[in-house]
Amino acid sequence: MNFQDIAILFFGLLTILSATFVTFSPKILYSAFSLLFTFFGVAALYLILSADFLAATQVIVYVGGILILIIFGVLLTARITNLEILEQTQQRFIALLPIGSIGLGLILLILFTNWPINLLPNEPTTATIGKKLILTYVIAFEASSVLLIAALIGAVRLGRERNDENVQ
């Protein structure tokens, strides 16, 4: 067990534990803040697997963007901060169907994937990622940018509409 294994175990455990806390925490804001550690754990795992650009992107997008948006949402929603979330299950059999199939799929994925044991050498990935995005996966890349533009325009439209009503 070398240093890398210990690090992977530690950050994996951190990710799983904080993710569990996100799910089971009675306070919604605690869930939001504990997401921070989940995201950081995932970023650290990327970093150990020598995907440094991906790790930084993980932090920038999830911590710097999505998490702040979630916390803003929680803080700006009236009386949500002290809301007690009910933890009880209803209609277990119907719920079992999708959850069970997803779980089964994941287990099968873990069992039948050929996991590379040897780690890749620690080399810059930024240029490779850039080239792949703009050459190999250009359609997916452009499609996601179109999606984002659509979301932006939609947000502006929604914001504008309310203003017009106020004016009238």
Partner 1 sequence: MSQFNPLEAFNLPIVYWQIIWAGIIVAFVTVFALFAVYLERKISAYAQDRMGPMETGGWQGWAQTIADALKLLLKEDIIPELADRRLFKLAPYIVFAGSLGVMAVIPFGVNLIGTDLNIGLYFILALSSTVVIGILMAGWASNNKWALYGAMRSAAQMVSYEIPIGLSLMLPVLLTGSLSMIDITNAQKSGILADGYFWNWYIFRVPPFTLIAFILYFWASLAETNRTPFDIPEAESELVSGYHTEYTGIRFAMFFLAEYANMFIVAAIASVVFLGGPLAPAPWLNWIPGPIWMLLKSLVLVFIQMWLRWTLPRVRVDQLMHICWKIFLPLALVNFIVIATLVVLWQK
Question: What's the length of the chain?
Answer: 168
C-alpha span between 157 and 40 (Å, rounded): 35
Phi and psi angles of residue 87, each rounded to the nearest 5 degrees, phi first: -110, 90
Nearest distance in Å: CB 92, partner 1: 33
C-alpha span between 49 and 58 (Å, rounded): 14
The answer for residues whose C-beta is within 8 angstroms of residue 20's C-beta and 6 or more apart is: none
Only one of the segments 30-38, 97-105, 108-116, 138-146 lies at the binding site for partner 1 (rule: CB under 8 A); that segment is 30-38
Work out whether 17 is an interface residue with partner 1 (CB under 8 A). no
Work out whether 81 is an interface residue with partner 1 (CB under 8 A). yes
Backbone CA torsion sign across 103, 140, 127, 131: positive
| Binder among 52, 102, 107, 111 for partner 1 (CB under 8 A) | 52
Only one of the segments 29-37, 88-96, 99-107, 144-152 lies at the binding site for partner 1 (rule: CB under 8 A); that segment is 29-37
Binding site for partner 1 (CB under 8 A): 29-30, 33, 36, 40, 52-53, 56-57, 59-60, 63-65, 67-68, 71-72, 75-76, 81, 124, 126
